[in-house]
Structure formats: structure tokens, C-alpha cells
Amino acid sequence: MNSTSQQKLHPNKEAFIEGVDHVLARWTALGLAVEHSWGGRRTEEKREDMVDEIVNYFDDVVKKNKAPEPLDLQEMILDIVEEDFNISLEDESEREVAAVLCKLFAECKAGNFVTVDRLAAERDLREAQGLGNPAVKMSQAAPRPDGADMSDDSDSCSESDSEDSDADMEED
């Protein structure tokens, strides 16, 4: 798909992709999965694929001229983490992640980058303080000595639900 087609799907797609990456980078369950290679030798690559799958979900929503369905997004996230990372989530954190992603999508679609910029600044600060997600650090590190390849309640997307969920995700 060329960049012109991507822009037709929704404006500011690059900001949305960046935001999705930031949201996943601060998700504790996914960070642990990547840090400990629960997805096997291609764990980091699977994490990157997860960003693409989420963006594609929203692209499909736009193509169909519909609103995102948080329950569908939650189910998709659950499927990905179970299949690719062998995680069985019991904390329902996929609900929080889906709510934040819905908020992020709506903002980016409207040309509002406040959340993306805040997430980027928080990530930069955590990394500068040495508190960044260990999974992100490991994905940029040399191969591990053990030979593992380390290469690179919400039924709606209402703003109040998303803001509550966004605050809940700040447990770093």
C-alpha cells in the first residue's frame, strides 16, 4: 500500500503508529513477555507485528466507515498475546490498552497529538533515567549469551473511560 492510500485511511497515521508503539512499550504484561522471550526467538518481531495488527484493525474500521468496537479490539489483543506470547491475561489489562488505543486513534484522526507527544516524552524520560521498559532496552542490545534472538470495563471509546484507563496504565 502506498503512502497516499495510507493517508486516505486516516490522517496523521504516522503519529498513530508511534502512539500505538508507545502504549505497547509501557504495557507491563507485554514488556515482561518480550523481556523473557515468551514469544520465542522472534519475540521482539512479534511485538512489532502486534503494532501493525492494531493499526490494521483501525484501518479496517475506517475503510468500513465505522467506529472502533472496543470489545473487538480487546478480543484481538487477547488473541495476539495468547498466541504469540503465551500470555494468559487475568488482570483484564487488555481493556485498558484497548481504551487508550481508542482515545489515541480519535485524537490522531482529529490531528490532536497531545497524547502521542506526552507518551513520547514519558518514554524518553523513563529511558533517560534508566527506567525504560526492559523489553525495549533488550531489543536494542546485542544478542543474549544464551543465543536467544532479541532483534529488533470499557464497552465504548468514550473520552471519560479512556482517560480513566490512561491513568491506570501509568504504573511504571
Residue 123 lies in a domain: yes
Residue 74 lies in a domain: yes
Note the pLDDT of residue 128: 86
Note the pLDDT of residue 129: 84
Distance, in Å, from the CA atom of 122 to the CA atom of 170, rounded to the nearest integer, reads 10
Residue 4 lies in a domain: no
Residue 126 lies in a domain: yes
Residue 111 lies in a domain: yes
Mean pLDDT by 10 residues, the chain (172 residues): 46 90 95 94 96 96 91 96 94 95 94 94 87 46 32 39 40 38
Note the pLDDT of residue 132: 56
Note the pLDDT of residue 106: 93
Residue 108 lies in a domain: yes
Distance, in Å, from the CA atom of 43 to the CA atom of 152, rounded to the nearest integer, reads 9
Residue 7 lies in a domain: no
Note the pLDDT of residue 65: 92
Cell numbers standing for residue 38: 515468551
Note the pLDDT of residue 14: 92
pTM higher than 0.75 for the full model? Answer: no
Note the pLDDT of residue 127: 85
CA angle 111, 114, 117 (to 5 degrees): 110
**Number of domains the chain is built from:** 1
Residue 11 lies in a domain: no
CB 128 within 8 A of CB 15: no
Note the pLDDT of residue 28: 93
Note the pLDDT of residue 12: 86
Determine the structural domain holding residue 160 and report its residue range: 21-168
